[in-house]
Amino acid sequence: MSIELKIQPLRYVLAVWEEGSVQGAARKLYRSQPALSMAIRDLEERLGQPFFEKTHKAQLTPFGEYCLPRFRDLVKQHDRLASELQQVAGGHQGRVTLATVPSVASRLMPEFLAGFVSQYPDININLHDENAEFVCRLVASGEVDLGISSVWVEDERLSFAPLFEDKVGVVMRRDHPLANRKSLKWTELARERFIANGTSRLLENTAAASLVENNDFFISNMISLLAMLEAGSGITTLPRLAFPVDSDKLCFIPLSEPRLVRQIGIIKPAHRSLSPPAQALEERILTSLAGLDMS
């Protein structure tokens, strides 16, 4: 039967060789000399061979010469693995995959992730930029660890923790007759050419549902949508976070009736634990992004 090798006695053997005596090894390791000698002797008895010559306690036997480099390699490997496991368990090392809706990816993630990787430089982040429905699908399938999005449909596979509300408003050209308004009611938009988009489902089952039902266009791609709006082809509704703040041709006017918000939150598996690095990312998201004011 093979014996179980404990790391500590191997360290003692190495220390005796390096220090030239049991006394020196005991001082280096802050152990008593009898305890150190007893541990080495026990290992020798279990292996059936001595490590040091009886006439000279710091001179290796042939068996000791064979063991010394192997003990050194095993101790180094043990320490390297122990350090790695401690780093991973503490959430300081590893890989995390995160999926977010485009508006969060472009507006919030650059600054947020810069701060996160400065605190956790050994965690590798893989960021996916997807629509809300696909973010939920990626989390539910286990392809990503976490998502930041809204949830359109209840899914028992997912856990959702709200972060902040993203108010919905009307987006139009700055030279539009309604562009100088502080807020707008949906009834004032009934005669406008409406361009529906992926977030227009926020209007469903509300008083403004007819805007979507009678849309003139449906454009899912944000770049194409903005181009159509800038060309004056119509108006649309968007959450505040999705509005391009650097646009010099478009404006955002809050929708007052009905008052609509997109609830943004953390999405994670409901019945599966997160890895330690993902736990660290989740905690940072909760402390940094919860309660943001999107007004």
Task: Check: CB of residue 253 under 8 Å from CB of residue 184.
Answer: yes
Residues 76 and 218 grouped into a single domain: no
Q: Do residues 123 and 241 share a domain?
A: no
Other C-beta atoms lying within 10 Å of the C-beta of residue 191: 7
Looking at 89, 107, 142, which one is the last position of a domain?
Answer: 89
- Amino acid identity of residue 178, one-letter, is L
pLDDT of residue 1: 64
Task: Let me know whether 170 and 249 are in one domain.
Answer: yes
Model confidence pLDDT, tens digit, residues 63-93: 999 999 999 999 999 988 888 787 777 767 7
Residues 49, 62: one domain? yes
Q: For residue 41, is it within any domain?
A: yes
Residues 98 and 210 in one domain: no
pLDDT, position 57? 67
**The pLDDT value given to residue 164:** 95
Report the CATH number at residue 29. Answer: 1.10.10.10
Question: 271 and 160, same structural domain?
Answer: yes
pTM: 0.70
In a domain, 124, yes or no: yes
Classify residue 174: in a domain, yes or no. Answer: yes
Say how many domains are in the chain: 3
Q: Which residue from 198, 192, 231 is spatially nearest to 215, judged by alpha carbons?
A: 192
Q: What is the pLDDT of residue 252?
A: 96
As a whole number, the mean pLDDT across the chain is 91
Question: Both 143 and 284 in a single domain?
Answer: yes
Which helix (H) or strand (E) segment is 218 a member of?
strand 217-218
Token pair, residue 262, equals 């997109």
- Tell me: do 201 and 220 sit in the same domain: yes
The answer to whether the CB of 172 falls within 8 A of the CB of 253 is: yes
Residue 170: inside a domain, yes or no?
Answer: yes
Per-residue pLDDT tens digits for 9-49: 999 999 999 998 889 999 999 899 999 999 999 999 999 99
Whether residues 34 and 99 share a domain: the answer is no
Q: How far is residue 211's CA from residue 201's CA, in Å, rounded to a whole number?
A: 11
Q: What is the spatial distance between Cα 252 and Cα 228, in angstroms, rounded to a whole number?
A: 15
- For the cut 80, the answer to whether the pLDDT of residue 136 exceeds it is yes
**Token pair recorded at residue 115:** 């701060």
- Structural domain boundaries enclosing 29: 7-89
3-state secondary structure 223-279: HHHHHHHHCCCCEEEEEHHHCCCCCCCEEEEEEEECCCEEEEEEEEECCCCCCHHHH
Last-in-domain residue among 53, 74, 89:
89
CB of 207 closer than 8 Å to CB of 274: no
Three-state SS at 3 = coil
198's tokens: 């992926």
Answer yes or no: do 108 and 237 share one domain: no
Is residue 53 domain-shared with residue 176, that is, in the same domain? no
Q: Residue 16's pLDDT is what?
A: 92
- The end-to-end CA distance of the chain, in Å, is 71
What is the length of the chain? Answer: 295
Question: pLDDT value at position 8?
Answer: 93
Give me the CATH number covering residue 233.
3.40.190.10
Domain-embedded: residue 294: no
Provide the percentage of residues in the chain whose pLDDT is more than 70.
99
- Confidence (pLDDT) at 289: 93
| Judgement on whether residues 153 and 284 belong to the same structural domain of the protein | yes
Per-residue pLDDT for 294 more than 80?
no
pLDDT of residue 234 exceeding 70 = yes
